[in-house]
Amino acid sequence: MSSILKASNVTKKFKGLVAVDDLDFDMKDNTIHSLIGPNGAGKTTTVNLITGVHDLTSGSVEFDGKIISGLPTYKIARSGIGRTFQNIKIFSSMTVLENIMVGGHEQAKLGLVRGVFDFKASKAEEKKLREKAEEILNKIGMYELKDKLMKNLPYGRQKISEIGRAMMNDPILILLDEPAAGLNPSERAELIQVITKTHREGFSYFLIEHNMDVVMNISDYITVLNFGRKIAEGTPKEVQNNEEVIKAYLGNKYVTKKKVSGEV
Amino acid sequence: MTKKMKIRIAEIIILLIALLVVPLFVKNNYYLLVFNRILINAIVVLGLNFITGLTGQMNLGMAGIFALGAYASALITRYANISPWVGLLLAIAVGWVIGQCLGYPSLRVKGVYLSLTTIGFAEVIRLMFSNLTDITGGTQGMRNIEPYSLFGFKFDTQGKMYYLFFVITAFGFFIAWRIVYSKWGRVFKSLRDNAEAVEMSGVDIADVKIKAFTICAIYGAVAGALYAHFMGYINPSTFTIDMSTNFVIMLLIGGLGSVIGNIFGAIIVTILPEMLRFLDDYYLITFSIIVLLGAIFFPNGWVDAVVRLGKKTINIISDKRAENGKAVSR
């Protein structure tokens, strides 16, 4: 399997604080790769570094064989990376369908002036965009809600709609920043379903999550961060049994306890 | 073509004809003058809608843009001694340049600070024109600005100008309508709600914001040019912050983001003070109170409020009918 997203020696310093420290990871194509870690470990910062929201202090990020660190956010998005946000960022005064269609703005190539005067082309393009958005809404199970205003939707739906918006750009990779935060168990189950289903259809996911249910169920590979430093990586099983990880999450005490109980 | 569309087109044609024959029946020059002011104001509001209505950035510098358009057109017709139509083209060019320049700070400055920037811009323009006495005549203003003419036909009366402005406003309306209800309008609106998410969709938001400002400024400058040749006299003291706020009030009353609302906003805010003139000294305060109450009770604009009220009554009536029908069938 070829590598799709590769971070090499990524470091980010905010003044004196080292948020991400010499992070390396290599995400393989067509996988769900998770980044976990306690609060303040630098997970969201990592996503912001990948998407160009923050500049890297040093190191580089490579996507699909090309260096993307240093590019502005919109160019990174155009290169095939979609993203959802930890604190949802939706267009609340617009309908669900419009929300998704904004994601495809760049897919429609018609310029402003031609759009005004070329009735036929603009109509055809709008139709294409709408059909694509509707197809995606079908995929994420929100087709019935398409004409509802976004702000009237429950939180879980709003979060899932962000995935749909990201899909409009035909990304290869979607970064999910804590998609399950704030969702109730049934919404969470639905989210897992959407992710696994679309993953089978060819989307790769880079997932940041606190909810271990979600992470352990769907990840192929996990990288664990603590205080900005990578402390472990491996398959979900490997990570679960890693001493460093248990120490980071639960404290020293539990490492020994586990060993004792393991011996018995 | 569906039946619904045919009805739509028929409606639009009837409306256009109705509006075109207005000067045949209204002979009063004062009324026609008010109509012309409405048309010019409507153009400004159509433009302002792109910035303040759609992308949600308060632009309180519309008077500055308006003044630049007016002076650009008036000065070139005066000193180069050419047709006001060239002035109109120059106004479009000036609008484009202002849009590019004013769009730039909007990338860095947000909210209240952007409003202050735009106010500052408008004041600089106003003071510049009042102090360039040699060229603009300073606070004395510029007199006898030539009216528009087409193949020897002079648009020199209010009635004739009405036709000209009507056509230009209709064209402006058409363009605004096409943009607002296209993918561009959608992306402008999404910028108001959440810029970061738009950027992550691969949209160069700097470019889009500057586009919105440019459209806005072109509309404002064109309206300014029309105003100069319509009044025949311009004076820097017209283009104050009062004028800018008036445009914003028109936009708010019509409803943010709605193209038809823009037109109604321009109509209401232009006519209302005229209708209140019988109150003499108190007309301005009455007008302000009406606007204030409107802002409190109809935050989505008056047009929206009327439409909602209409829908409500229709619903109530149809509900009653349904109930009666049930009672009868029982």
What's the rounded mean pLDDT across residues B146-164? Answer: 86
Q: Does the pLDDT value for residue A256 go beyond 70?
A: no
> Sorting pLDDT into bands at 50, 70 and 90, what band is A84?
very high
Q: Does B171 touch chain A (CB under 8 A)?
A: no
Residue A26: its H or E element = strand A17-28
Per residue in A162-219, pLDDT tens?
999 999 999 999 999 999 888 899 999 999 999 999 999 989 999 998 888 888 889 9
- Determine contact, residues B272/B254, Cβ cutoff 8 Å: no
Dihedral sign computed on CA atoms, order A67, A72, A75, A80 = positive
The CATH number assigned to the domain holding B156 equals 1.10.3470
Nearest to B189 among A53, A94, A122 (CB): A94
CB contact under 8 A, B183 and A129: yes
> Sorting pLDDT into bands at 50, 70 and 90, what band is B325?
low
Name the burial class of residue A111, with classes exposed (0-12), middle (13-18) and buried (19+) by CB atoms within 10 angstroms of its CB.
exposed
- Determine contact, residues A150/A95, Cβ cutoff 8 Å: yes
Mean model confidence pLDDT for chain B? 89
Q: Does B201 touch chain A (CB under 8 A)?
A: yes
CB contact under 8 A, B197 and A165: yes
What's the rounded mean pLDDT across residues B233-252? Answer: 93
Can you tell me the distance from the alpha carbon of B139 to that of B129, in angstroms, rounded to the nearest whole number?
8
CB contact under 8 A, B196 and A77: no
A172 three-class SS: coil
Q: Determine, yes or no, domain membership for B231.
A: yes
The CATH number assigned to the domain holding A43 equals 3.40.50.300
What's the rounded mean pLDDT across residues A53-70? Answer: 92
Q: Does A94 touch chain B (CB under 8 A)?
A: yes
Q: Does B193 touch chain A (CB under 8 A)?
A: yes
> Sorting pLDDT into bands at 50, 70 and 90, what band is A6?
very high
> Sorting pLDDT into bands at 50, 70 and 90, what band is B329?
low
Share of chain B above pLDDT 70, in %: 98
Per residue in B257-280, pLDDT tens?
889 899 999 999 999 888 888 888
Type of residue numbered B68: L
Residues 6+ apart with CB under 8 A from B160: B153, B154
Share of chain B above pLDDT 90, in %: 53
Q: Does A116 touch chain B (CB under 8 A)?
A: yes
Distance in Å, alpha carbon of A69 to nearest chain B alpha carbon? 15
Give the pLDDT score at A244: 85
Q: Determine, yes or no, domain membership for B95.
A: yes
What DSSP string describes B106-142? HHH--HHHHHHHHHHHHHHHHHHHHH-HHHH-GGG-B
Nearest to B193 among A85, A92, A169 (CB): A92
- Determine contact, residues B36/B161, Cβ cutoff 8 Å: yes
Give the pLDDT score at B1: 57
Q: Determine, yes or no, domain membership for B319.
A: no
What domain range includes position B84? 26-282
Per residue in B11-22, pLDDT tens?
888 888 888 887
CB contact under 8 A, A89 and B190: no
> Sorting pLDDT into bands at 50, 70 and 90, what band is B252?
very high
Q: Determine, yes or no, domain membership for B48.
A: yes
Give the closest residue to A94 by CA, choosing from B61, B193, B247.
Answer: B193
Nearest to B190 among A102, A112, A115 (CB): A102
CB contact under 8 A, A125 and B183: yes
Q: Does A177 touch chain B (CB under 8 A)?
A: no
The number of folded domains in chain A is 1
- Looking up tokens 């309908």, which residue turns up? A95
Mean model confidence pLDDT for chain A? 89
Q: Determine, yes or no, domain membership for B296.
A: no
Q: Does B304 touch chain A (CB under 8 A)?
A: no
Chain B residue closest in CA terms to A81: B200
Give the pLDDT score at A258: 53
What's the rounded mean pLDDT across residues A114-134? Answer: 91
Can you tell me the distance from the alpha carbon of A57 to that of A183, in angstroms, rounded to the nearest whole number?
34
Can you tell me the distance from the alpha carbon of A252 to that of B144, in angstroms, rounded to the nearest whole number?
89
> Sorting pLDDT into bands at 50, 70 and 90, what band is B326?
low
Q: Does B200 touch chain A (CB under 8 A)?
A: yes
What's the rounded mean pLDDT across residues B69-95? Answer: 93
The number of folded domains in chain B is 1
Q: Does the pLDDT value for residue A129 go beyond 90?
A: yes
All residues of chain A having their beta carbon less than 8 Å from the beta carbon of residue B199 are: 73-74, 77
Number of cross-chain residue pairs from A and B with Cβ atoms under 8 Å apart? 95
All residues of chain B having their beta carbon less than 8 Å from the beta carbon of residue A72 are: 204
Give the pLDDT score at A110: 85
Give the pLDDT score at A252: 79
Residue A17: its H or E element = strand A17-28
What domain range includes position A163? 3-263
Q: Does B74 touch chain A (CB under 8 A)?
A: no
CB contact under 8 A, B183 and A101: yes
Can you tell me the distance from the alpha carbon of A176 to that of A179, in angstroms, rounded to the nearest whole number?
6
> Sorting pLDDT into bands at 50, 70 and 90, what band is A263?
very low
Can you tell me the distance from the alpha carbon of B87 to that of A62, in angstroms, rounded to the nearest whole number?
53
Per residue in B93-133, pLDDT tens?
999 999 998 888 888 888 899 999 999 999 999 999 999 98
Q: Determine, yes or no, domain membership for B50.
A: yes
Q: Does A163 touch chain B (CB under 8 A)?
A: no
Give the closest residue to B200 by CA, choosing from A195, A37, A45, A83.
Answer: A83
Per residue in B170-207, pLDDT tens?
999 999 999 999 999 999 999 999 989 999 999 999 99
